[in-house]
Amino acid sequence: MSETLLSISGLSKAYPGVIANEDVSFDIRRGEVHALLGENGAGKSTLVKMIYGLVKPDAGTMRLNDKSFAPSEPRAARAAGVAMVFQHFSLFEALSVAENIALGMETPPPMRALAARIREVSQDYGLPLSPERLVGDLSAGERQRVEIIRCLLQDPRLLIMDEPTSVLTPQEVEILFATLRKLSADGVSILYISHKLEEIRALCHTATILRQGRKVATCTPKDVSAREMAEMMVGVSFNAATRSSRPTGDAALTVEGLSLKASSQFGTSLKDISFTLRQGEVLGIGGVAGNGQDELLSALSGETATDPGSISLHGQDISRLGPNGRRRLGLLSAPEERLGHAAAPNMSLVENAALTGAERQGLLSGGFLNWPAARGFTKNVISGFDVRTPGPQVAARSLSGGNLQKFVIGREMLQKPDVLVVNQPTWGVDAAAAAAIRQAILDLATNGAAVLCISQDLDELLEISDRFGALNEGRLSLILQTSELSVDEIGLMMGGAHELDAAHG
């Protein structure tokens, strides 16, 4: 096992104005699961793209199996035995599973033979998949299987996985880990990129940590704590979110029998959702993506009007009010999709701040916007939430995902909401910024606001929420105290199991 498969030495890559990687060197052994850790923008993606032949390094060399390895394109990398599962799935929704897999192969066999092989490999590795189905109809977990099987059919020697677990339920993560361990035992090396430090400790043999494009450490994850790894990534020590015990107050937001038909073919209908959100509490809503999260957010934010009487704020029926009416009453929301939903990509930060903040921040006078005041509000968001940007005038799309997320969350929080609804508040945000956002959510609740946090990151929900429920196919599970829950129970709630009702009823 000590034989080296891939040896990287002195790899550097610069883009105009940014150094993505500088002098990165490390080795991956045969059959090893090797973690690549780093904050957003630490250069993980660029490094991986160089190994996969999508980006050419400026300097440095790679050796694969003791032979010089400089793939000029992904095809060459694949031919050399390097396969990659992408973070944002690189699948074609309108094509079938088999067609998608055929596209990732050099010389695909005829369709019928390929379908048989897909069935065979997917059974072998415990990832059942039917080759005829359209990818557009598959769940996130199933789509990932398509990618993995596409890689496995090429008998790879190195499998690169970019944040594979961000879309999976705990049970699906277990299945994936079992598959990866089996592959590792078969001698396949795995380069595993993730933000989730506990996963890395459970799965990986070695970890290489990048910071600002440079390698800062190599460690054995089992021997160090998640906290230590996070500090190596960030370079400074930071605190996990702390909650101060607080009494929960009166009901702030009451949802009763909320049902909503899906607006699109691939959407999910909400079915008879009821819950009460109290002042001073954080209610966490978990569940796998696509089980009604977006629909719930749009019903609560006011983008979609619902049946009269289904949503009330402090006893007042707000079901028919639009987003601005609800904002005026103190219910604010931050949707998941940063570009295009939470923020208009081509408008400046000031304009984006004015779009949701105009009413509550008093930026309007007689229909005219008070731009100096809007700029002041924007600057407050930027300084209060450590948004890294050249200034308030830059377009929203020019910010990195994490920074834009901080801006979007900060913009709503500074408007002093009574009730805040957020969806995926720390999606794609690095560990330090995520910790800051979680802390801000807890502080908001401590100050008496009610927060509904929809997220697919279970660790996050367990960390910040007082009570927890899960969405499954548009239905909301029982809502239970977070402190009483085990991970198994959560998994069952997310899977829509009903034996919980009996257990806790």
Which spans of this chain sit near other proteins (rule: CB under 8 A)?
A: 15, 46, 49, 53-55, 73-75, 78, 86, 89-95, 99, 102-104, 108, 265
Q: Give 53 or 156: the residue with its C-beta nearer to other proteins.
A: 53
CB-wise, 160 or 233, nearer to other proteins?
160
Q: How far is the CB of 289 from other proteins (least distance, A)?
A: 18
The least distance separating other proteins from the CB of residue 432, rounded to whole angstroms, comes to 25
Pair 281, 463: CB distance under 8 Å: no
Nearer of residues 31 and 104 to other proteins, judged by Cβ: 104
Q: How far is the CB of 427 from other proteins (least distance, A)?
A: 19
Residue closer to other proteins (CB basis): 13 or 326: 13
**H or E element that contains 227:** helix 226-234
Structure tokens at 368: 């005219």
Nearer to other proteins, 72 or 365 (CB): 72
Whole-angstrom distance, CA of residue 330 vs CA of residue 104: 50
In this structure, what token pair is assigned to residue 76? 């060459």
Pairing type for strands 475-476 and 467-472 reads antiparallel
Q: Which is nearer to other proteins, 107 or 486 (CB)?
A: 107
Least distance to other proteins from the beta carbon of 437, Å? 27
For 444-474, the DSSP string reads HHHTT-EEEEE-S-HHHHHHH-SEEEEEETT
Of 54 and 373, the one with the shorter C-beta distance to other proteins is: 54
What's the CA gap between 438 and 425, in Å, rounded? Answer: 8
CB of 468 to other proteins, least distance (A): 35
- DSSP bridge pairs for 277: 253
Shortest separation between residue 57's beta carbon and other proteins, angstroms:
12
Query: CB-wise, 114 or 440, nearer to other proteins?
Result: 114
* d(C-alpha 63, C-alpha 321), whole Å: 62
CA dist., res. 292 & res. 279, Å (int): 24
Structure tokens at 136: 């557009």
Q: DSSP letters of 398-414?
A: GS-HHHHHHHHHHHHHT
Are 211 and 432 in contact, with CB atoms under 8 Å apart? no
Q: How far is the CB of 429 from other proteins (least distance, A)?
A: 21
In angstroms, the CA 160 to CA 167 distance is: 17
Our CB check for other proteins shows the closer of 134 and 497 to be 134
Largest CA distance in the chain: 73
Residue 435 · residue 442 · CB < 8 Å = no
Shortest gap between Cβ of 27 and other proteins (angstroms)?
25
Min dist. Cβ of residue 94 to other proteins (A): 5
Q: How far apart are CA 304 and CA 323, in angstroms?
A: 9
DSSP state, 72? S
The answer to whether 357 and 376 are in contact (CB under 8 A) is no
